[in-house]
Structure 1
Amino acid sequence: MIIKLFLGFIVLLIIMRLMGKRNLAQLNAGDVIYLLVFGGILEGSIYDEKIKYWHVILALVSWSLIIFLFEYLIYKSKKARFILKGDTDVLMTEGDIYTKILKYNRLELDQIHSIARNQGIFDLSEIKNMYIESDGGFTIEKYDNKYPLKEHDYEIYELVKNKSINENILKEINQDEDWLYNQLNKRGVHDINNVFYADWSFDRGIHIIKYK
């Protein structure tokens, strides 16, 4: 069993070298599959005395060659790279959100808020573009701002979420739907069904994220 574990360790190092200098956060779905299959091969062989050492070597070397072939195809072919590794998705452009991309990646507005806060952004109006990378990470491009906003610089009131108006928030800021529609009209939005999200701050006014 110890020898099989040692062989597995050596081959795992080879696989990690094939993947290049990436950390765990950069592993994509294909990389995870590589490691899961590798683990399955090793686990099945360790506890089965009928499986000889050379069987383990043959299986691990074969899988390593398959990985090398896939990585070579990914390196040489853009089409193969797209199929096997995926591509970067554009989630937001110029402050507007692509709801199809949002739904495809099973994301919700609350998660977007959380992702932004993790990158030190507490107001969605600061976000110009947002991308979902192939490894599942998020890249955010902010609007130019000489004075970045902090968490407690001002309160933000959520007025609209997924086309639904928050009546309680309107009452909290002493406003009504007529006022909200007037604010939307000033920004060129004449249909509430076009509004994915809207919030209000007494410091910078209304911020609108439209469906794209």
Structure 2
Amino acid sequence: MMFLSIAIKLAVGMIGVIIVTRLLGKKEMAQVTPLDFVYALILGGIIEEGIYSSSTNVGHILTALAIWTILIYIIETTTQKFDNWRHLIKGSPTLIIENGKINMKAMKKHKLETEQVRELLRMQGIFSIGQVNYAILENSGQLTVLERAGEEPVSRQEFKEEFPENSLTYLLVEEGDINNPALKQAGKDRNWLLNELKKRNYPLSDIQFAEWNPNQGFYVQLQS
């Protein structure tokens, strides 16, 4: 009898998952927002409580699922109709990089670090902030990137010139502090870095971040 009850509860829970999934529409995983994650988290809690609690019957699960489904439907419907409500509940895209410079106010607002932005860029095959003209942080947490015109991909077969092999870009300075692990990976030392910055008249304490690439050299943004 207990196994039958669990099977029925699981079936009811599966139906609830299907209904909620249909309400959220056809989204890819990359488009799922934090609010969608909360939907799924609470739905999972309802089903878990229903399965493992002997005091919870199928009627309780159905009632909880019905209420939760109605709430989701109301939220999703109203956010589609009212822009202000949508921005309040789901947030809005934020310009993180503008004209090649990181928007530090937006970074602090969204609790982002420079290396996290670099990681999101690397996931799109971009290994330097210097290649980016604009980058928008979407509600899903992904970056939408518009590269600089000179960084747009072209076929090397269109040229007869020899090209140097691509190399990694290293974040050597972040918020005025030297990134020693990155410096070591680049095969350089602290004295070399300080001398190179001095040649370019960049005081270490004034640097927001400094990238270095063996082929392209330094890309530096000063603190505003």
**TM-score, with length taken from structure 1:** 0.80
Instruction: Show structure 1 runs of 5+ residues with no match.
Output: 185-190
Which residue does 2:12 correspond to in 1? Answer: 7
- Hey, what's the Cα distance between the residues in 1 that align with 2:195 and 2:169? 15
Structure 1 residue 51: Cα displacement: 2.7
1:1-212 counterparts in 2 under 5 A?
1-145=6-150, 148=153, 152-154=165-167, 156=169, 160-164=173-177, 171-172=191-192, 175-181=195-201, 195-201=207-213, 203-211=215-223
Cα deviation digits, residues 10-35 of structure 1 (max 9, x gap): 12101101000012332212111111
What is the RMSD of the two structures over their aligned residues, measured on CA atoms? 3.1
The number of residue pairs the alignment matches comes to 204
Judge conservation of contact 1:96–1:210 (CA < 8 Å) in 2.
Answer: no
Judge conservation of contact 2:33–2:90 (CA < 8 Å) in 1.
Answer: yes
Judge conservation of contact 2:207–2:220 (CA < 8 Å) in 1.
Answer: yes
Give the percent of matched residue pairs that are identical in Structure 1 and Structure 2: 27
- Hey, what's the Cα distance between the residues in 2 that align with 1:121 and 1:111? 13
Structure 1 residue 195: Cα displacement: 3.3
- Hey, what's the Cα distance between the residues in 2 that align with 1:118 and 1:152? 20
More deviation in 10-19 or 145-154? 145-154
Structure 1 residue 52: Cα displacement: 2.9
**TM-score, with length taken from structure 2:** 0.76
Cα deviation digits, residues 137-192 of structure 1 (max 9, x gap): 111110012674999435656564313468965744794554120xx6xxxxxx76
TM-aligned CA distance change 1:73 to 1:128, over 3 Å: same
Instruction: Show structure 2 runs of 5+ residues with no match.
Output: 1-5, 155-162
- Hey, what's the Cα distance between the residues in 1 that align with 2:125 and 2:164? 8
- Hey, what's the Cα distance between the residues in 2 that align with 1:205 and 1:43? 55
Which residue does 1:188 correspond to in 2? Answer: none
TM-aligned CA distance change 1:178 to 1:7, over 3 Å: closer
More deviation in 57-66 or 141-150? 141-150
